[in-house]
Amino acid sequence: MESGVPLLEIRNLHAGIDGNQILNGIDIEIGPGEIHAIMGRNGSGKTTTANIVMGHPDFDVESGEIKLNGKDLLELESWERAKEGVFLSFQYPQAVPGLQVGNFLKKSVASINGEEAAKGKKFRELLKNSMKELNMPSSFLSRYVNDGFSGGEKKRFEILQMMLLQPQLAILDETDSGLDIDGIRTVATGINSSIRGTDSGALIITHYSRILDYIKPDKIHVLIDGKIVATGDATLATDLEENGYDWLEEKVRRGGD
């Protein structure tokens, strides 16, 4: 990779849905090997940011730029972005009754990383080891995608997909919610082993600082009303956990006067 080109670059992003403005100028820059987090209350625009980077067709981007390794993502459909290396772990993964997990994983890996990547011993080993790491029994493979999964199973399945697809940029939208402490630890291990020490990066969206204790993000961005109001290191998460968002909102209001 060219030095100096960020992995993900979001510049002055304004976007909304059905005429409602949600994002009012977002700037985020993630370098290779970095893990960032976005924190904020419900409705602050966290999930919208994730959906827009992945290319959800319902959202309208009014202005701004999103680039992956210097390439304009806004020109691409979501499946093309996936092939460029963008991955989204969904807050609410969708069920597809009748589509077997094993078959789906194979098809997705083939589609994103090529037919060869989904064949043979190497793929089987990766699948086996990843499932083991996530404490998933092999019987999981014959179930239908997210059909009747518990909250925890859904989240682990998202991480399993991430581990197999080996994305350049992983966006994890509240992957920690609905997980118990063991689940969070397992998921964090999965994220660390996929990103740390590689040229990939991750953007973690969360309400809680707990998962960040295990992942130790390089930067934390706080989103309020579709704008990033503060960016800091891991200590920012602790501040938010202890003091809530009120003090930040207050600061924004004062700043806006």
- Residues lying near another protein in the complex (CB under 8 A) are found at 51, 54-58, 77-79, 81-83, 86-88, 90, 92-100, 104, 107-108, 111-112, 144-145, 161, 165
* Helices and strands, counts by H and E, the chain: 9, 10
To another protein, the closest distance from the beta carbon of 87 in angstroms equals: 8
Q: Which two tokens stand for residue 230?
A: 């503060």
Question: In terms of CB distance, is 16 or 224 closer to another protein?
Answer: 16
Question: In terms of CB distance, is 15 or 86 closer to another protein?
Answer: 86
- Angle between helix 101-113 and helix 120-133 axes, rounded to 10 deg: 120
Distance between CA atoms of 90 and 10, rounded to whole angstroms?
A: 20
Question: In terms of CB distance, is 149 or 212 closer to another protein?
Answer: 149
Question: In terms of CB distance, is 85 or 226 closer to another protein?
Answer: 85
Question: In terms of CB distance, is 15 or 212 closer to another protein?
Answer: 15
Residue ranges in the chain assigned as alpha helix (H):
46-54, 78-84, 101-113, 120-133, 151-165, 181-195, 210-215, 235-243, 246-256
Lookup result for tokens 């419900």? 42
To another protein, the closest distance from the beta carbon of 205 in angstroms equals: 15
Question: In terms of CB distance, is 24 or 113 closer to another protein?
Answer: 113
To another protein, the closest distance from the beta carbon of 157 in angstroms equals: 12
Distance between CA atoms of 117 and 110, rounded to whole angstroms?
A: 6
Q: How far is CA 237 from CA 50, 87, 183, 240, in A?
A: 20, 24, 20, 5
Question: In terms of CB distance, is 5 or 95 closer to another protein?
Answer: 95
To another protein, the closest distance from the beta carbon of 83 in angstroms equals: 6
Q: How many Cβ atoms from other residues are within 10 Å of residue 159's Cβ?
A: 25
CB 91 within 8 A of CB 177: yes
Nearest alpha-carbon partner for 62 in 25, 9, 88, 10? 25
